[in-house]
Amino acid sequence: MKNCRTGRGAILVGIAVLLIAAGANAADKLQIDGSTTVGPIADAFAEAFKSLHPTCSITVSKTGSGDGVASLIDSRCSIAMASRFMKEAEFKNAVNNGVLPVAHVVAMDGVCVVLHPSNPVQALTTDQVRDIYAGKITNWNQVGGVNRPIVIISRDTSSGTYESFNELVMRKEKMAAGVEYVNSNPQAHARVRSTEGAIGYVGLGFLDRYVKTVKLNGVAPSRSTIARGIFPVSRPLFLFTNGYPTLGSMTHAFVTFHLTEQGQEIIESKGFVPRTEY
Amino acid sequence: MTNSQTIQLDPTGAAARFTRPLRLSAAEDLRGYIGSHLGRAFLFMTTFLSVVAVLLIFAFVVYEALPFFFKGSWADAFARVKEFLTANNWYPQREHDPYYGALAIITGSLYVTVCSLLLAVPIGVLAAVFLSDIAPFQLRQICKPLIEILAAIPSVAYGVFAVMVVAPWMQRRLGFNTGANALNASLILAVMALPTIISVAEDALSAIGRKTREASYALGATRAETIVKVVIPAAHSGIVAAVILGMMRAIGETMVVWMASGNASRIPSPWWDLSQSIRTMTATIAGELGEVPKGSDHYYVLFAIGILLLAFTFTLNLFSEYFMAKVKRQARGG
């Protein structure tokens, strides 16, 4: 743009730049499709790629794991994001279409159940948590606490945290009508911190001394237990590609970005757990 | 128009000194013609733009909502409308056999709107009466701008206040189980509706004019009698318009209710228990539209809620226009 002032030469330069950019675009175009849980990671990776490789263009669309996998099978995207492994039928479909899915685990997702610090309850089982959210347990004295009604706090239904919790703890059972919905991890934290009878769930990055973490099935949430998959509400987050990407290609750089220091920082800043254990 | 007449009417000779020829040259004529028409066309376009924007918004919302109701037979569509409006079971994100009963959400909107008005109308009208009839001029010059600043505070700031200050206070002092509830949202909405109500009602009261008040005093009425029996009845249509405008503010507000109301999609039971969480139509749209797959039933049903919301505000707007027109007629002495 700056060159435009100097006249005809600049126009030629401009055209040349445009041509180069167009050529590069055609080569480095990444279409990424799939899970809303993995979406924030892919978004942040794409953002980081923009400054690292200015010529590449990455489109991330968050449509859900199933849609992402379907679009990889139809070769409509180069990378599919999924918060679960492919189902058998999907895998067969892919192979029949000549697509050989390869899974890359980029991060672990763990959702921690938190209570008000004054609550004496130390540990819960996932079944108890499910019954609380389904409205079958309504008072803390039913799970070994004091006589106080339970105030249930959930994330909004469009969040990835809700999706993880809904699948790993609720097993898709319906939550009670009286559940309060809040629209961010910090807000869930604030509500639990200020409400005595509250139970809520947040990503690992949002635990601090103002809320009390409970053990689930006897396991306390930590980077280590989530990265090793011992904590019951943890799961791997996948990127799927068609075959292992050509070494040195943009796709390869993208699916291995979580191994770099910057990639790990991004994963942690989004409230997920990097796979490295240290 | 003869010369002799002009001179008679204009003894100082100003018209004689006005030397510009009466007839314009062709170019000047054309310039004036084009200028006036271009100006008119430009003004027409700007007005037309906002009208078209409103119509397009209507069309878009209806267009996006229709696929939810109309697929299959008419009986099916009717059943879906009926479920949407009368069933109390909202679970649209479920993969198989989702529920789309929005009754709890519609009543939630009505709860916060009505409750906030119950709080804001008496305070707002009394404040307007004080400002127009009782407060000394100096005080009024200070108070009115201050009240109008209330309207300029962004709603997310109110929301943070509701979550961080009001909710813990309600749990500690009032002993409520949860601070994010209907009462919290209504309180904050009432504060947000106040500037609108005060400002419009005060204008209506001031428009009644000195003559009416003095006539009342001349008949021996006290100040209180004048205000209660003369000024307020005379200004009633303006006050009603103020209330309706405040109501529109409350029903359309999103951020505050999304943060303060708790968003539990159920009807409080017993019905008067405002310490329970509720969910409004605006909060449902704001909370769920973000990640819902485009083209799914869940997506369309959110636009169906949008239609309801538009219908509510459109009706309210019609009423307020009607009452405002009445105020103007009265001001002209009609």
Alpha carbons within 13 A on the beta-carbon side of A30:
27
Give B287-306 pLDDT, tens digit per residue: 888 667 777 888 899 999 99
Q: Is A179 on the interface with B (CB under 8 A)?
A: yes
Residue type at position A258:
H
Report the residue of chain A nearest B176, measured CA to CA: A195
Among candidates A156, A177, A195 on the partner chain, residue whose Cβ is nearest the Cβ of B178: A195
- The domains spanning A2-108+236-269 and A109-227 adopt the same CATH topology: yes
Position A35 pLDDT exceeds 90: no
Write out the CATH class of domain A109-227: alpha beta
Domain boundaries, chain A: 2-108+236-269, 109-227
Higher-scoring residue by pLDDT: A24, A147: A147
- Mean pLDDT, rounded, for B166-193: 91
pLDDT at B278: 92
Inter-chain contact B265–A177, Cβ cutoff 8 Å? yes
Q: What is d(CA B90, CA B99) in angstroms, rounded to the nearest whole number?
A: 5
Whether A190 sits inside 8 A of B164 (CB atoms) is: yes
Q: Is A81 on the interface with B (CB under 8 A)?
A: no
Second-level CATH architecture of A2-108+236-269: 3-Layer(aba) Sandwich (3.40)
d(CA B200, CA B129): 11
How far apart, in whole angstroms, are the C-alpha atoms of residue B279 and residue B263?
A: 4
Q: Determine the Cα–Cα distance for residues B52 and B58; give it in Å rounded to an integer.
A: 10
Contact B276 A178 (CB under 8 A): yes
Q: What is the pLDDT of residue B13?
A: 64
Q: Who wins on pLDDT, A276 or A170?
A: A170
pLDDT at B123: 96
Q: Looking at the predicted structure, is the pLDDT value of residue A276 above 80?
A: no
**Residue with the two structure tokens 């604030």:** A190
Task: For residue B158, count other CB atoms closer than 10 A to its CB.
Answer: 21
Residue B6 has pLDDT above 50, yes or no: no
- B147 DSSP assignment: H
Long-range contacts of residues A244-253, Cβ cutoff 8 Å, at least 24 apart:
A244/A102, A250/A27, A250/A28, A250/A30, A250/A49, A250/A53, A250/A56, A251/A30, A251/A78, A251/A79, A253/A49, A253/A53
* Neighboring chain A residues of B164 at a CB cutoff of 8 Å: 190, 194
pLDDT in tens, B90-148: 888 777 788 899 999 999 999 999 999 999 999 999 999 999 999 999 999 999 899 98
pLDDT band at A213 (very low <50, low <70, confident <90, very high): very high
CA A43/CA A48 separation, integer angstroms: 9
Please check the confidence at residue A28 and state whether its pLDDT lies above 60: yes
Digit-coded pLDDT (tens) for A70-127: 889 988 899 999 888 888 888 998 999 999 999 999 999 888 999 999 999 999 999 9
B245: CB partners within 8 A, 6+ apart: B196, B197, B200, B320
Does the interface predicted TM-score (ipTM) exceed 0.85? no
Cα–Cα nearest to B147, from B139, B137, B156 = B139
